Chains A and B, each alone.
Chain A
Amino acid sequence: MPTRVLVPSGVLGLGFDRDALANGVAMKPDIICIDGGSTDSGPFSLGTGTSKYSRAGCKSEWRELMIARAELQVPLVISSCGTCGSDNMVDWMFDITQELAIELKHTLKVALLYSEQSADTIVAKLDSNQYQALDPVFPLEESIVRNCTHIVALAGAEHIAQALESQADIILTGRATDTAAICALPIMRGEHVGAAWHGAKIAECGALCSTNPISGVILLDVDQQGFNVQPMASDARCTPHSVSAHMLYENSDPFLLHEPGGTLDVTQAHYEQTDERTVRVIGSQWHEAKKYTVKLEAARCTGYQSTIMAVLRDTHYVANARQWLDRLSDFLEKEINTAMRLNSGDYSLEFRLIGVDSVLGALENKAATPTEVGVLGIITANSEELTEEIAKLINPFLLHYPLTDNEALPTFAFPYSPAHSNRGALYEFCMNHVIELNSPMDAFRIETRQAGI
């Protein structure tokens, strides 16, 4: 009997088709796994230890999955709770689970797998040289480690397996690789390890590997030779193309995927349509690593920001936006120096011309005259007081600065009042490294708690 995994969607908070979920439940899976995290929205979530998705949205979807779990009486796993998988986000997910358990009158055993790392742990790894830089290589030293607001290690299949061993009804994990939760049970049951990892990679974004990506729900059957994958929405299909193409997605290498403890290699994988909706894959390989490593993610605060925006609609200014902005920037540098006694190294003021090249910057190779141009000023400095002061100082000039000395004073459009917005702290990802562990559980902790009535 293959091990059957139901994946309701690529991430909790993204939504899924309720009928497709019902179809998935009717297939009697052995486990339900959903991801709760990603670095895709940037460093803010990890920097602050907050969820990108709304609590209400997550709770509403989690409710559906808790009901499905109760009906099936199989484990329900969410990995990388609260987008970033910090310890406090695992607790946040537990609070949601607890509220729902009471509402639904469930009595639950919940396992919580924590992935957050102390600065001391990481510094000790640096000192004992039990770490490696990944490509592209950035320096990692103690001062960077001590500056991080959160550091997490990405859990692998071993950690999820350990949590499953506790016989918990629900497992909430800190940061884990996208694939770990999905492949853990098949590997525990002795299914083909390469197939388990490969199937997990294909299913981790839910129905993105099918012809109807937004339907969400995917069913994975892993056996001792390979895996089958099929979407649960009635109008969706998996095809060898849709499935194999998913190995390309968000992967810099389409054949190799580095995971805790080894590497998935799909160079020899063979994809075959077995019925109208299902694809079977064989030939996936797992290469066990000599040393057990887990990847780190970390974020630190690199300053504070305020932004200010004006919009140019006057044709004369739209046509000469760059020239105007260069002249304005020179003027503002002097003005900030005079009024605030700040040198250019004390802050940064960057303008982006929306409608001209704000997305591609120096790579932009298309020149066209837009109808209007947004002028987005981004001020970064060491405190919010400072960025706000600079924003207020430059405000009248951004509103009125003329293209040349000999023309009437223009007034541009500010879209709202006040024209500036304080963005607060700016965070930056600051580790691209793995640490070596003597035993997989060394850097992770599991707790079990009761939830509900």
Chain B
Amino acid sequence: MQLGELVVNVRSKNAGPYWVTIDVFCGSEAVYSQVQELLTKAFVASLYQQPEETLKHFELPDLHVLKFSFPRPVVQGSRYDRDMHGAQYSVLLSELEISAH
């Protein structure tokens, strides 16, 4: 099973030209607890090949949301950018096989 099938929604988006932010909407307390355990800061940093020190990690239990933000690997719209809105970064999380972890 993939993470995207378990949770309500995973989305990513630029937060200005220099950051990308990923929101995981878990939908329920039970799913939130399960996902919270899985998506540690270290794990997400390694999935996105980011240093842990610059990855921001927020837990919002009231909303059943986990949020991760990190500096864009390339500045939005610069020569080597591949995704202007940063909206496809989310697929690495939504396609994550959760039985394997």
Contact = CB atoms under 8 A, between A and B. Distances in A.
Interface of A: 39-44, 134-136, 241, 244-245, 248-255, 297, 302-303, 348, 350, 352, 358-363, 365-366, 380, 426-429, 432
A302 B95 CA distance: 36
A359 B91 CA distance: 11
Interface string B65-82: 101010100011111111
Contact of A363 (B77, B84, B92): B92
Q: What are the 8 closest A-B residue pairs judged by CB atoms, nearest first?
A: A42-B77, A252-B69, A252-B15, A136-B71, A252-B19, A429-B17, A43-B77, A428-B78
A248 B23 contact: yes
A429 B74 CA distance: 11
A244 B63 CA distance: 8
Given A254-B67, A359-B88, A429-B76, A39 B13 contact: no
Given A358-B82, A360-B92, A361-B82, A254 B60 contact: yes
B85 interface: yes
Most chain-B Cβ atoms within 10 A of its Cβ — which of A241, A248, A249, A359?
A248
B35 to A, nearest CB: 15
Interface in B30-67: 48-49, 54, 56, 58, 60, 62-63, 65, 67
A254 B57 CA distance: 10
Contacts of A40: 14, 84-85
Most chain-A Cβ atoms within 10 A of its Cβ — which of B15, B54, B81?
B15
A41 B13 CA distance: 12
B67 A348 contact: no
A363 B60 contact: no
Interface of B: 13-19, 21, 23, 25, 48-49, 54, 56, 58, 60, 62-63, 65, 67, 69, 71, 75-85, 88-89, 91-92, 95
Given A252-B56, A380-B79, 20 more contacts: A39-B16, A42-B76, A42-B81, A43-B17, A136-B18, A136-B54, A250-B14, A251-B21, A252-B16, A252-B19, A253-B58, A254-B58, A350-B79, A350-B80, A352-B82, A363-B49, A365-B92, A429-B18, A429-B75, A432-B18
Contact of A429 (B60, B65, B77, B88): B77
B17 A253 contact: no
Contact of A250 (B21, B83, B88, B92): B21
B84 A248 contact: no
Contacts of B82: 352, 358-361
6 contacts: A39-B17, A248-B23, A254-B65, A302-B78, A359-B82, A359-B88
B54 A302 contact: no
B92 A39 contact: no
A259 to B, nearest CB: 13
A360 B88 contact: yes
Contacts of A39: 14, 16-17, 76
A163 to B, nearest CB: 25
A54 B13 CA distance: 24
B98 to A, nearest CB: 15
A350 B15 CA distance: 27
A244 B25 contact: no
A364 to B, nearest CB: 9
A293 to B, nearest CB: 15
Nearest to A350: B80
Contacts of B85: 40-41
Nearest to A432: B18
Contact of A366 (B48, B58, B95): B95
A201 to B, nearest CB: 13
A350 B88 CA distance: 21
A332 B26 CA distance: 49
A19 to B, nearest CB: 28
A361 B54 CA distance: 21
Contacts of A380: 79
Contacts of A136: 18-19, 54, 71
B76 A253 contact: no
B11 to A, nearest CB: 9
B13 A250 contact: yes
Contact of B79 (A135, A303, A358): A303
